[in-house]
Amino acid sequence: MSRSSRLLKLVEILRSHRRPVAGADLAAELGISLRSLYRDVATLQGEGVPIAGEAGLGYVLGPGLTLPPLNFDVDELDAVVLGLRLVERRLPGGLGDDARRALGKIEAVLPHGRSAADVQLLVGTPATGSARVLDAIREAIRKEEALIIAYSDKKGAASERAIWPVIVGFFDTAEVVAAWCELRQDFRHFRLDRIEQIAPAGRPMGRRHRLLLADWQLDRDCGEGF
């Protein structure tokens, strides 16, 4: 790896962490000595890259950095394009449109001679028609708001539930939302394609989302989650 490539990779590593990273960990990930890592950091700081920290304390990338578009290697581009195609195919409208736009932005910044069309990986997962429901759930999670849903279980029994959505899982043939159900006073899992109506409840969840997520993860570890 050339030094210029190594410096760019160092910046990418720091951009992926919000907390200080020990110099020894950075050096190990880059495959260089700690002394070389210190020289690289000093070089970047001298070029105006806002890296804060020092030897023995760790390093963190500060705000204000503007970089040119990143250059994906072959495997990285395959992974990104396949993931975006999956979202676009499975969730037309809403998040699927976002995936299509993101793919267009990536296409625009690829080096000359490279194209997302070169990625010969197709997605066969059919659309589920749950994009509208998913968008409502995502917004509720962001705002930490409760939802009212009209739901039909696998036997066709209908019910109305007030839920506090936690997380959405994507499976081969369906999407499932894990949520706290006010009716059952416990976590329940609802298939998005069986949610016939969905609307904000007009009030916040009874607990902060991060606490709900931690509780659900504990249930999952005990065999009650996805």
| Mean predicted confidence (pLDDT) in 153-171 | 92
Element (H, E) at 139: helix 131-143
Residue 55 has pLDDT above 80, yes or no: no
More confident residue, 18 or 186: 186
| Mean predicted confidence (pLDDT) in 146-175 | 92
With pLDDT > 90 as the criterion, what percentage of the chain qualifies?
42
Q: What pLDDT does residue 132 have? A: 84
CATH 2.30.30 fits domain 131-221: yes
Q: Is the pTM of this model over 0.85?
A: no
First to last CA, the chain: 41
| Mean predicted confidence (pLDDT) in 151-161 | 93
Place of tokens 């495959």: 31
Q: What pLDDT does residue 65 have? A: 62
Nearest-angstrom CA–CA distance, 16 and 98: 22
Q: Which of 42, 43, 29, 39 is CA-nearest to residue 1?
A: 29
CATH classification number, 3-61, choose in 3.40.605.10, 3.20.190.10, 3.30.750.200, 1.10.10.10 = 1.10.10.10
With pLDDT > 70 as the criterion, what percentage of the chain qualifies?
90
Domain boundaries, the chain: 3-61, 74-118, 131-221
Residue 195 has pLDDT above 70, yes or no: yes
Element (H, E) at 190: strand 186-191
The 10 Å CB-count burial string (b at 16+, else e) for 105-144 is ebeeeeeeeeebeebeeeeeeeebebbebbbbbeebbeeb
At 32, the pLDDT band (50, 70, 90 cuts) reads very high
95 burial (CB, 10 Å; 0-12 / 13-18 / 19+) is middle
Residue 1 has pLDDT above 90, yes or no: no
At 107, the pLDDT band (50, 70, 90 cuts) reads confident
Residue 78 has pLDDT above 60, yes or no: yes
